[in-house]
């Protein structure tokens, strides 16, 4: 049963778990992992590990039990997190209200810099119009830099739209999105017939330790398609989305429920990040180095 700890002072709402309560939590979290975790084979390993865990006969505080379970599960996947009690909710920023332009273009000599600060949904007509106008500007250049430094992601649909002209006029397989209990979803580029093909344009993609999620997806696709040189520092490594699930015992658990898999590498950038082809430690040097590399790749009129 769940009882208040009668010993030393405990945090507010703390609980002391007897062995039977510990077993209830282990079984409950195992069921959630079994049902929702994206990879069934690894889910089985996690579940077997939890269900074979010994309970502490003298009891344990709920917060300490959550800490121990998190450490144990992260031996399998670092996305797992077990929380006792209602977790703090992250404040969601309304991207539509951001004063910063999602995409900007700047001419740099014969080249151009397409700076993408977030990936908005292409169902937003204003967002797709901005992306289209920016890509048309890129088409007037002899080479291009795509700067996704400090971009924490956004909508995959915009990744598919921006990538399209650089890889040709026909749709190209970007990733296969796998989810627990659902059919695979194949994501393709979204060619816009009003934008000329940029498949012959030299491209450098700039990344850093603030490049995450959808921004990593763009850089990873450019790299796996051998379509661009990646310059900068390793990215965050956030590929597999997680969801928060509650158990009746009062514990919550973050579980990876999906995974975008690149069809060329058979994996993704999760936990390892996108590794640059040219590693640059100094943020001040990245733009200049990128421009130099792109200009050297330019071989004349397309």
DSSP state of 99: S
| Cα–Cα separations (whole angstroms), residue 101 to 131, 190, 219 | 11, 22, 20
Least confident of 2-11, 99-108, 139-148, 150-159: 2-11
List, as one string, the DSSP characters of 66-80: HHHHHHHHTTT-TT-
Whether 220 shows a pLDDT value over 80: the answer reads yes
Tell me the residue length of the chain.
302
pTM recorded for the entire structure: 0.82
Strands 143-147 and 203-207, bridge-based pairing: parallel
Mean pLDDT, rounded, of the chain: 90
Whether 61 shows a pLDDT value over 80: the answer reads yes
Whether 257 shows a pLDDT value over 60: the answer reads yes
pLDDT, one tens digit per residue, over 170-202 is 999 999 999 988 899 999 999 999 999 999 999
pLDDT, one tens digit per residue, over 279-288 is 998 899 999 9
Task: Tell me the mean pLDDT in the region 253-257.
Answer: 95
pLDDT, one tens digit per residue, over 286-301 is 999 999 999 987 666 5
pLDDT, one tens digit per residue, over 128-170 is 999 999 999 999 999 999 999 999 999 999 999 999 999 999 9
Confidence of residue 89 (pLDDT cuts 50, 70, 90): low
| Cα–Cα separations (whole angstroms), residue 258 to 14, 39, 177, 187 | 32, 8, 7, 14
How buried is residue 70: exposed, middle or buried, by Cβ count under 10 Å (0-12/13-18/19+)?
middle
Q: Pick the closest to residue 25 from 272, 263, 264, 253 (CA basis).
A: 253
pLDDT at residue number 10: 37
**Rounded-to-integer distance, Cα 254 and Cα 242, Å:** 6
pLDDT at residue number 5: 40
């Amino acid at each position: 049963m769940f009882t208040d700890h009668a010993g030393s002072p405990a945090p507010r709402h703390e609980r002391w778990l007897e062995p039977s309560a510990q077993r209830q939590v282990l079984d409950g979290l195992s069921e959630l992992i079994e049902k929702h975790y994206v990879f069934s084979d690894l889910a089985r390993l996690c579940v077997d590990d939890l269900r074979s865990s010994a309970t502490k006969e003298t009891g344990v505080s709920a917060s300490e039990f959550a800490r121990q379970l998190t450490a144990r599960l992260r031996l399998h996947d670092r996305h797992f997190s077990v929380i006792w009690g209602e977790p703090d909710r992250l404040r969601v920023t309304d991207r539509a209200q951001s004063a910063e332009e999602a995409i900007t273009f700047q001419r740099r000599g014969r080249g151009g810099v397409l700076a993408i600060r977030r990936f908005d949904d292409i169902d937003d007509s204003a967002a797709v119009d901005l992306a289209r106008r920016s890509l048309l500007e890129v088409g007037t250049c002899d080479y291009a830099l795509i700067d996704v430094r400090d971009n924490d992601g956004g909508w995959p649909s915009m990744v598919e739209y921006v990538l399209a002209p650089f890889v040709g006029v026909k749709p190209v397989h970007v990733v296969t999105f796998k989810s627990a209990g659902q059919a695979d979803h194949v994501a393709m580029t979204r060619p816009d017939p009003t934008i000329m093909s940029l498949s012959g344009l030299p491209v450098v993609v700039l990344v850093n330790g603030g490049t995450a999620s959808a921004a990593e997806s763009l850089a990873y696709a450019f790299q796996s398609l051998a379509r661009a040189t990646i310059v900068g520092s390793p990215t965050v490594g956030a590929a597999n989305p997680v969801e928060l699930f509650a158990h009746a015992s009062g514990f919550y658990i973050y579980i990876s429920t999906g995974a975008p898999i690149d069809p060329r590498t058979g994996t993704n950038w999760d936990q390892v990040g996108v590794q640059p082809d040219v590693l640059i430690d100094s943020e001040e040097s990245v733009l200049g180095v990128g421009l130099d590399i792109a200009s050297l790749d330019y071989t004349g009129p397309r």
